C-alpha cells in the first residue's frame, strides 16, 4: 500500500478540493464521488429493487448491443467516470476534479475507455433513485451531466414506476423528452430499434 494512502474517510478534510490523483490513494470502504474537487458521500449500498432494475437494464441493453452494435459498451457501477472540465482539465490525474459512478452508462467511443474506467462523457447515463437519494444530490447530478454534454440522461423512480428521459438540445441544455410509466415502451435514437417496456425493467 502506498505510504500516502488514506484508509479512513475521517483523515480527509471534506471542505478541501481534491483531484483524481488524490482519489486514487483512498483505500477506505465508503463509496464517494468527486464533483469539481469536492467529496460527496454516496448513498448506502443499493437495495434489492435498485439492483433488480440495474440488472434488467443491463440484460436488455446488453442483449441489444450484442446483436446490433459492437461499438457501444454498457457499464454498471461501481465504474469510475472521469469528467473533464474543458477549461481546467486535460487528462493528467492531477488535473481531473470530477469522478462519478453512474448506476449505468453507455459509451460508444472506445478511445474514452481505459483500465480505470472512462475518461470523458458517456453517451447515455442512467441513474436509479433509491429512497435515500436527496433532492440536492439529484440536482447536482442533473446539472453536472448537462454541463458536461451527456446526450441522454435517464432517471428511474422504481417506487413510483416512472422513468424521466432527458435529451440534450442544440443549446446544450437538457429537455424532458418523455415521462414513461409501466406500459410505455422506452426507445432512444442512440440505439436504433431498441425497445423495452418499462414494466419489464421494473419487474422482479
pLDDT at 137: 81
Number of domains in the chain: 2
Is there a single domain that holds both residue 71 and residue 151?
A: yes
Rounded to 5°, the CA angle 25-27-32 comes to 90
pLDDT at 42: 83
Is there a single domain that holds both residue 153 and residue 89?
A: yes
pLDDT at 66: 93
Whether 4 is in a domain gets the answer no
Query: Residue 107 is part of which domain span?
Result: 48-202
Q: Which three cell numbers stand for residue 166?
A: 432527458
Is there a single domain that holds both residue 34 and residue 80?
A: no
pLDDT at 134: 72
Is there a single domain that holds both residue 37 and residue 111?
A: no
Quote the CA–CA distance of 58 and 69 in Å, as a whole number: 15
Beta strands in the chain, from DSSP E residues, in sequence order: 32-35, 38-41, 73-76, 81-83, 98-100, 104-107, 113-114, 117-119, 124-128, 152-157, 162-168, 174-180, 185-186, 196-197
Quote the CA–CA distance of 36 and 39 in Å, as a whole number: 9
Whether 154 is in a domain gets the answer yes
pLDDT one-digit tens code per residue, 41-88: 887 777 899 999 999 999 999 999 999 877 899 999 999 999 987 555
Q: Which residues of the chain have pLDDT under 50?
A: 1-3
pLDDT at 151: 97
Half-sphere exposure of 96 toward its Cβ, with a 13 Å CA cutoff? Answer: 22
pLDDT at 3: 44
pTM of the model: 0.92
pLDDT at 46: 79
Rounded to 5°, the CA angle 102-106-112 comes to 95
pLDDT at 87: 52
Amino acid at each position: 500500500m502506498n505510504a500516502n494512502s488514506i484508509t479512513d474517510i475521517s483523515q480527509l478534510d471534506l471542505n478541501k478540493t481534491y483531484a483524481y490523483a488524490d482519489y486514487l490513494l483512498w483505500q477506505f470502504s465508503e463509496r464517494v464521488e468527486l464533483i469539481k474537487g469536492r467529496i460527496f458521500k454516496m448513498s448506502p449500498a443499493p437495495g434489492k429493487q435498485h439492483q433488480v432494475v440495474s440488472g434488467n437494464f443491463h440484460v436488455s441493453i446488453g442483449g441489444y448491443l450484442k446483436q446490433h452494435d459492437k461499438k457501444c459498451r454498457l457499464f454498471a457501477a461501481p465504474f469510475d467516470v472521469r469528467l473533464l472540465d474543458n477549461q481546467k482539465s486535460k487528462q493528467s490525474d492531477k488535473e481531473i476534479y470530477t469522478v462519478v459512478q453512474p448506476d449505468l452508462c453507455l459509451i460508444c467511443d472506445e478511445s474514452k475507455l481505459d483500465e480505470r474506467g472512462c475518461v470523458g462523457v458517456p453517451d447515455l447515463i442512467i441513474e436509479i433513485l433509491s429512497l435515500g437519494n436527496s433532492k440536492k444530490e439529484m440536482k447536482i447530478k442533473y446539472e453536472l451531466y448537462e454541463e458536461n454534454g451527456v446526450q441522454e440522461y435517464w432517471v428511474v423512480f422504481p417506487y413510483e414506476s416512472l422513468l424521466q428521459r432527458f435529451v440534450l438540445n442544440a443549446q446544450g441544455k437538457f429537455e424532458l423528452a418523455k415521462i414513461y410509466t409501466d406500459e410505455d415502451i422506452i426507445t432512444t435514437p442512440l440505439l436504433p430499434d431498441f425497445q423495452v417496456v418499462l414494466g419489464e425493467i421494473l419487474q422482479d
